[in-house]
Structure 1
């Protein structure tokens, strides 16, 4: 394939993986039909001009070589990942339907990509290195999709694209509907790869970037909270995992608050338990550092987390946020009522305030109020909005 000075060559690697290949009938069908299927589909999808695309077979592994416009390497890689992801998804579905009559468990088409290096002068060596990198990249089941998710995550971090919204928390015992505070919730700019903030944080954890995403969400929550009055609280979620992150740097939030005319007395850190807290001694040490500066602490999702009761006893928070799973329909569920009553008794003994989450019905609101719950939030009381007030 001859390239001009404004072109570059990329490789997309396709290979079948999975234990299903150990079955003789599956292996035989792959050997008999895969190459013919791929060749036919390539003919259908081939770009105009016979030199734009070529292929190389190594046994049953296919390497599609194609020209790319010479742009920034990041853009070329993104184009390859997009194309590889689309082709893999389409080919896997169509081939399984035609060869097996539907999806085969433990059989997946893998795809990997690479761009040939121009600094290797020998064309044979360039091709060999490109093939090797594509094979390595394609060893995991969803390599192309993962590459695109990582690029989206990097774009979110670099562009500071997390958008905060604020949901009011209402006092139930003071006889006024004024907001006691607001919980800052994160929204992601696109739902293509992350189905919301939880998906974003889960992927960030897999990539070792939990603290980077957590810090960005916290910073954006503070930067956009104009309208917060002096007596109101801003509830900000932080993950328990950042306490063990080697890049964690205490003091950054304090500097940001000062920049926006706020103080730690405005802030309540909500500890979310996406996984259990493994080292309570370290957690208590960190939280004491926060408390000494004037921050308050809340345990989020109480009643639904991995170790919420232990967290309450060990960390002695200022607030317990009762998960919506216990609040939904509480006026009609005797067991839920008993459980929340237990929380109110525990909170009284420990001088902790309760927040009922997920209030959607007036009956739920009246029930938790009669139990002595001090604060509540939910769609009945106010939906998340981009601004405070």
Structure 2
């Protein structure tokens, strides 16, 4: 009886909601049998002569995620994702342009936008990347208590103007946007993919470096290579550049270009200090990885002992057997290996256990506010103890405040990197001694304060 009563109340609430203005429920409204508010608004916008575009968002490889986790975890993921989507969308899409947001398939969300001017595909593509990245960052922050990490993929397209049936037009647009989100659309069809392909072909990237300092002596131990795309483009941001390259299956090609540019800089500027180059498991498992690396070092006459490949957690290393074989070959050539993002999640710790790296880089999320959060300091001590046991060096990333650097020195962390010491810039020429002296002075002053 109570079940029947509850269902009746639910139906009554839904019927009452139909009388509301569509604006009050245009973001993930409940499911209606009589009328879909979002489709109704799409139909209305098109009849008023507006062009309608669609941005599609979804969790990457959601089908695999379902098989690996419980229904409770999946419900939690969906609940958190939809909450973040509601909070985020109006930060990027003006309310006057937003038609509505609805789930178009299981865990696939469509953002419908009213265009008041000629449709600019590249701008909407860029908007899709920004929204997807923002939601991914917030979502992973909320999921970290469950040791979950997800990737959000996104694609954008235009609803076909020559189809009168909105439901059919939306269906076609969803299929099209999904191909773009998955990186399966042909290059000429996707303006951003074409732009990225040209960046890779012409090596139109800039490599910056950030010094890594010895916290005992103040000397520069080495440099980490950081990448920027062309200025005044969406790809100037490294997050957008590498995230989109992964989405359209060009990540390895992009990372090979970064390695080549880094080697060219090392040779051209006579850099003899160790240089850290980020690389994902995607590229590490590329069939031509070893061949390409050998070719690059021979061309630029680079000593492998001067290069440390920094394996990032951005793409989880799943096949440890084959990856370990590649790493053994790299080490046999004289290269060293670092694991990035230690302390940020379970996967980096698993990679450390499987690979036993030469260097562990502690993630900035653990370093930030470490002087104010006792649990972070406890985690640092645990990582330092483990690193001592496996005889590997430790670098703390993201040091931005003097107090954070002081905690690192108190626990004898060997090396540090971050804005407190120096911002990223081009490879420092020999005349840059003033900056080096300033960094050294900071460290010596902190060491004396810590010692007292």
Count of residues in Structure 1 that have an aligned counterpart in Structure 2: 298
Write 1 or 2 for the structure with the bigger share of helix: 2
| Whole-angstrom distance in 1 between the partners of 2:199 and 2:401 | 36
| Whole-angstrom distance in 2 between the partners of 1:377 and 1:201 | 22
Displacement after TM superposition at 1:108 (Å) = 4.8
> What is residue 371 of structure 1 aligned with on the other side?
411
| Whole-angstrom distance in 2 between the partners of 1:356 and 1:206 | 30
Which of 96, 102, 115 is the aligned partner of 1:105?
Answer: 102
Secondary structure of residue in 1 paired with 2:329: helix
Secondary structure of residue in 1 paired with 2:387: helix
What does the per-residue CA deviation read over 1:334-361, in whole Å, with 9 as the maximum and x for residues that have no partner?
2111111111111111110000111112
> Is 1:253 aligned with 2:266?
no
| Whole-angstrom distance in 1 between the partners of 2:174 and 2:348 | 40
Secondary structure of residue in 2 paired with 1:250: helix
Q: Is the 8 A contact 1:235 1:270 kept in 2?
A: yes
Which of 37, 55, 68 is the aligned partner of 2:48?
Answer: 37
Q: Is the 8 A contact 2:228 2:235 kept in 1?
A: no
Displacement after TM superposition at 1:281 (Å) = 0.9
What does the per-residue CA deviation read over 1:32-76, in whole Å, with 9 as the maximum and x for residues that have no partner?
7355312xx58xxxxxxxxxxxxxxxxx9xxxxxxxxxxxxxxxx
Distance 1:30 1:383, change over 3 A: closer
Distance 1:265 1:189, change over 3 A: same
Secondary structure of residue in 1 paired with 2:427: coil
Distance 1:191 1:309, change over 3 A: farther
Structure having the higher Rg: 1
> What is residue 56 of structure 1 aligned with on the other side?
none
> What is residue 50 of structure 1 aligned with on the other side?
none
Secondary structure of residue in 2 paired with 1:189: coil
| Whole-angstrom distance in 1 between the partners of 2:97 and 2:213 | 54
> What is residue 155 of structure 1 aligned with on the other side?
198
Secondary structure of residue in 1 paired with 2:413: coil
Which of 191, 209, 214 is the aligned partner of 1:166?
Answer: 209
Distance 1:273 1:111, change over 3 A: same
| Whole-angstrom distance in 2 between the partners of 1:323 and 1:368 | 13
Query: Which one is further off, 209-218 or 300-309?
Result: 300-309
> Is 1:314 aligned with 2:354?
yes
Displacement after TM superposition at 1:367 (Å) = 1.6
| Whole-angstrom distance in 2 between the partners of 1:334 and 1:91 | 41
| Whole-angstrom distance in 2 between the partners of 1:277 and 1:330 | 28
| Whole-angstrom distance in 1 between the partners of 2:259 and 2:305 | 16
| Whole-angstrom distance in 2 between the partners of 1:323 and 1:154 | 31
Which of 331, 345, 348 is the aligned partner of 1:291?
Answer: 331
Secondary structure of residue in 2 paired with 1:139: helix
Secondary structure of residue in 1 paired with 2:357: coil
| Whole-angstrom distance in 2 between the partners of 1:356 and 1:189 | 29
What TM-score do the two structures reach when normalised by structure 2?
0.58
Q: Is the 8 A contact 2:330 2:336 kept in 1?
A: yes
> Is 1:227 aligned with 2:269?
yes
> What is residue 317 of structure 2 aligned with on the other side?
277
Matches within 5 A, 1:1-389: 23-26=33-36, 29=40, 33-38=44-49, 94=97, 96=99, 103-106=100-103, 108-109=111-112, 110-111=157-158, 139-141=175-177, 147-173=190-216, 175=217, 177-190=218-231, 192-194=233-235, 196-225=237-266, 226-230=268-272, 232-246=273-287, 248-389=288-429
Write 1 or 2 for the structure with the bigger share of strand: 1
Unaligned runs of 5+ in 2: 1-27, 53-91, 104-109, 113-156, 161-170, 184-189, 430-452
Higher relative contact order (CA closer than 8 Å, sequence separation 6+): 1
> Once superposed, what is the RMSD of the aligned Cα atoms?
3.5
Query: Which one is further off, 316-325 or 250-259?
Result: 250-259
Unaligned runs of 5+ in 1: 1-17, 43-59, 61-88, 97-102, 114-134
Displacement after TM superposition at 1:387 (Å) = 2.2
Displacement after TM superposition at 1:143 (Å) = 7.4
